[in-house]
Amino acid sequence: MDVGPLNLVVSSPAKINLGLWVTGPREDGYHNLVTLFQKIHLSDLIFIRTSPQGGLRVVCLPYGPQDQENLVYRAIQVLSEKIARSLNLKVRIEKHIPIGAGLGGGSSNAGTVLRVLGTHFGLSEENLLPLARTLGADVPFFVSGWPTAVGTGLGDRLEPVPSLPSYGVLLLVPGLQIATSWAYQRLREARAYTPEEEARERLQKVLMALREGNPRELQQALSNDFERVVFREYPELLELKQRLFDAGAWAALLSGSGSAVFGLFPPEAEVPVLGLEGVRAFRTRFQTGQHEDQTGS
């Protein structure tokens, strides 16, 4: 199949977790969970071009893993194996999503590139999701076209959720990175798990509160099991969460295993400006449509 040279620019969005409940360990050493993924309008830019020199290069600027160390490299490899075709590409990632903050930047880059290139070579989302699962638990969400989805299993089994109102989001990202493996180890040591039935009940309460725009119910329903162990080790993150409430957030939560903490603001309201020393702040909103801010050439 001759598809001609590639010259694409694609937006790769961050995610937040609107609730995350770890239901227990698996026999393979990983953990089952229930979570609500939500894409937001904070994105990396990815430039994909055919390389006249041949071979595959992945360059991540101004920071981040390069070439084989980058998950995008592996994503292109598994796609190349799937289509039985060598892909000679240069990929440049312009990073805006903080690394190690629980915002899914690396998974988003890999999933976005896999989706865009896979579609270019005639593969459907159904074909691509099994490949995405080999790359990481969050990668399938970024291959999917859904702005909001429930994740179960490792987080890689997805159920689409009808679009939610476009809530405002204020992200606070301190200058520290938290390894997901460390956070899971602490959860395992503390046995700080949520039974699956309870997790699904909490999920439904979160969805109802978000749709109804009920701040009291939202604040009570929104929870993340990682807060139990992460806040103990990093109390400054709990302080950031309180600063979000002080700024008028309807609810606030740690995203993933951290270190980012986010506050939710009413859809019709302007997200406030909050300046804190040593903390990066991002004012953004929920994505509400499929593949928003995506592909150009």
**Residues 184 and 147 grouped into a single domain:** no
Pair 238, 224: CB distance under 8 Å: no
Q: Count CB atoms within 10 A of the CB of residue 297.
A: 8
The one catalytic residue among 15, 95, 205, 241: 15
Residue 199 lies in a domain: yes
User: What average pLDDT does the structure give for the chain?
Assistant: 95
**Residues 14 and 76 grouped into a single domain:** yes
Does 62 sit behind a cis peptide bond, omega within 30 degrees of 0 on the bond before it? yes
Predicted confidence (pLDDT) per residue in 81-119, tens digit: 999 999 999 999 999 999 999 999 999 999 999 999 999
Question: What's the one-letter identity of residue 258?
Answer: G
CA distance 179 to 82: 31
**What pLDDT does residue 264 have?**
98
Residue 297 lies in a domain: no
The one catalytic residue among 39, 44, 95, 138: 138
Residue 196 lies in a domain: yes
pLDDT at position 1 over 50: no
Q: Give the tokens for residue 36.
A: 């609500």
**Residues 140 and 112 grouped into a single domain:** yes
| Catalytic (active site) residue 15 | yes
Phi and psi, residue 177, nearest 5°? -115, 140
CA distance 108 to 54: 25
Q: What share of the chain in percent tops pLDDT 70?
A: 96
Q: What is the domain extent for residue 110?
A: 7-163
Nearest of 117, 97, 121 to residue 108 by alpha carbon: 97
User: Stretch 202-214: mean pLDDT, rounded?
Assistant: 96
DSSP-derived 3-state class of residue 249: coil
Residue 2 lies in a domain: no
